[in-house]
Homo-oligomer: A and B are copies of this chain.
């Protein structure tokens, strides 16, 4: 089983999501992925059909700040099919964070479809740290909307952005 011929030199992984906004759970997955894969492209989904709190530019900017300490991580955005984006960026792998059970089947459905239409792109799942197991962007927005404290859920600069968004107009 000698030489590993044909094994790619640097594996590029895409880590896609809405990141509306990035949470500490997302940061955790990005950090893990950056240790395992040579290059990680964090890909912000631009989905016009879904109401977002932050624009794609705001989300990208918050991600850049939150992940600036990871040298092999880039931020990009996409609309359309994820596998098309992955191919355009030379990625062989899609990374997804699995929190808890509720993610499981949707993620499997996506991975199954992406395998069929993606021509050899593999999906790998990484497990969110326990303390973020029940954390989601939606929950964070719900808490922030009513003035609750979101420290510990998101990076501090994101907490400030959330407070600005929900600050009552005068």
Contact = CB atoms under 8 A, between A and B. Distances in A.
Contact of A1 (B70, B104, B112, B125): B70
Interface string A114-142: 01110010111111011101111001000
Given A125-B126, A131-B130, A71 B113 contact: no
A102 to B, nearest CB: 4
A102 B100 contact: no
A134 B113 contact: yes
A5 B105 CA distance: 36
Contacts of A4: 10, 38-39, 71-72
A93 interface: yes
Given A4-B39, A131-B131, 6 more contacts: A1-B68, A36-B122, A81-B143, A109-B134, A109-B135, A117-B148
Task: Please give me the 10 A-B residue pairs with the lowest Cβ-Cβ distance, nearest first.
Answer: A4-B72, A125-B125, A109-B134, A112-B134, A102-B105, A81-B146, A80-B146, A124-B124, A117-B148, A111-B127
Interface of A: 1-8, 10-11, 32, 34-39, 68, 70-74, 80-81, 83-84, 92-93, 98, 100-102, 104-106, 108-109, 111-113, 115-117, 120, 122-127, 129-131, 133-136, 139, 143, 146-149, 152-153
